[in-house]
């Protein structure tokens, strides 16, 4: 059986997609998959994922389009200067709400849905115990079925993997 | 073509059509045929790749009226 090892280090809504999409797809293809969640990646295994947001601030690659209205309106790319984005309270929450609507409009799975599909497909979740403590989390903040380990445990699987991704 | 089960993955985007296909195939016996309907243009190449990597045979792949139709035979 082929093996895929992923290190998930990002804790935003957009960056939650690559590890969960690749893990669930690999599992469907018959891979044995492990994801090691470390640093901000720990946000992806919390029970409450409402903390996952997108921030267009300092991200010129992110299209800023409205997920509603007539086509000409939806096609507009709103180039909002960083200085404004940084100073409007709730800008990230607004961008996140718009992104979630865009995700739904496009038939793209939600993160809770993809995470559940990974669990069903027996993707193994590992969390970095060091960063759990560093960030003041409790094990009870996270979903069940996670192994809390260190780097050495990750290498036990990663060392034998066919593909290893750092995301 | 005859089939034993149909999966409608219309409106779903990557990787959901593949994940649902995998699930639907799990409910079939060896040699049975699954029909999948999808609207994701990426699913054409993805279904081929899925078949190749999992050993389930892709009997046919066709487009009609903006929809993609696949017939997969379970290994």
User: B interface mutation test: which of A107, A111, A113, A114 has the most B CBs within 10 A?
Assistant: A107
Give yes or no for a contact between B72 and B17, defined as CB atoms under 8 angstroms apart.
no
pLDDT in single tens digits along all 167 residues of chain A: 999 999 999 999 999 999 999 999 999 999 999 999 999 999 999 999 988 999 888 888 888 889 999 999 999 988 888 888 888 899 899 999 999 999 999 999 999 999 999 999 999 999 999 999 999 999 999 999 999 999 999 999 999 999 999 99
Which residues, including other chains, have CB under 8 Å from residue A159's CB and lie 6 or more apart? none
pTM assigned to the model: 0.89
Rounded CA separation B44/B49 (Å): 9
Q: Which domains does chain A have, with CATH numbers?
A: 3-51+109-166 (3.40.1260.10)
Say whether residue A109 is in contact with chain B using an 8 A CB cutoff.
yes
Interchain CB distance below 8 Å, B54 and A29: yes
- Do the interacting molecules here have an ipTM over 0.90? no
Would residue B69 be called left, alpha or beta, if left means φ above 0 and alpha means ψ between -120 and 50 degrees?
beta
Please identify every residue of B annotated as catalytic.
Answer: 14
Q: pLDDT tens digit string along A133-154?
A: 999 999 999 999 999 999 999 9
Sign of the CA dihedral with B59 first, then B63, B69, and B70 last:
positive
Place of tokens 């290994």: B75
Q: Do A25 and B15 count as a contact with CB atoms less than 8 A apart?
A: yes
Residue B40 tokens, joined: 């994701």
Of chain A residues 16-55, which have a CB less than 8 A from chain B? 21, 24-25, 28-30
Alpha-helical regions (H) of chain A: 13-28, 71-74, 82-85, 91-105, 111-120, 129-134, 151-158
Contacts of B12 in chain A (CB under 8 A): 107, 109
For domain B5-73, is the CATH number 3.30.110.40? yes
């Amino acid at each position: 059986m082929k093996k895929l090892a992923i290190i998930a280090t990002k804790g935003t809504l957009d960056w939650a997609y690559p590890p969960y999409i690749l893990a669930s797809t690999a599992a469907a293809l018959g891979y044995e998959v492990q994801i090691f969640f470390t640093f901000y990646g720990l946000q992806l295994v919390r029970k409450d994922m409402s903390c996952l947001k997108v921030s267009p601030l300092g991200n010129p690659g992110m299209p800023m389009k409205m997920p509603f209205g007539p086509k000409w309106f939806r096609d507009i790319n709103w180039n909002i200067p960083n200085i404004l984005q940084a100073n409007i309270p709730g800008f990230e929450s607004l961008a996140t709400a718009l992104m979630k609507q865009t995700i739904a409009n496009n038939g793209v799975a939600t993160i809770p849905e993809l995470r559940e599909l990974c669990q069903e497909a027996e993707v193994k979740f590992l969390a970095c115990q060091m960063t759990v403590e560093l960030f003041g989390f409790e094990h009870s903040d996270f979903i069940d079925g996670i192994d809390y380990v260190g780097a050495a445990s990750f290498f036990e699987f990663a060392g034998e993997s066919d593909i290893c991704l750092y995301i | 073509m005859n089939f034993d089960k149909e999966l409608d993955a219309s409106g779903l985007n990557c990787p959901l059509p593949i994940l649902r296909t995998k699930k639907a195939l799990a409910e079939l016996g060896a040699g049975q045929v699954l029909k999948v309907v999808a609207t994701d243009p990426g699913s054409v190449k993805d279904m081929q790749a899925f078949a190749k990597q999992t050993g389930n045979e892709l009997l046919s792949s066709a487009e009609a009226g903006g929809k993609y139709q696949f017939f997969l035979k379970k290994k």
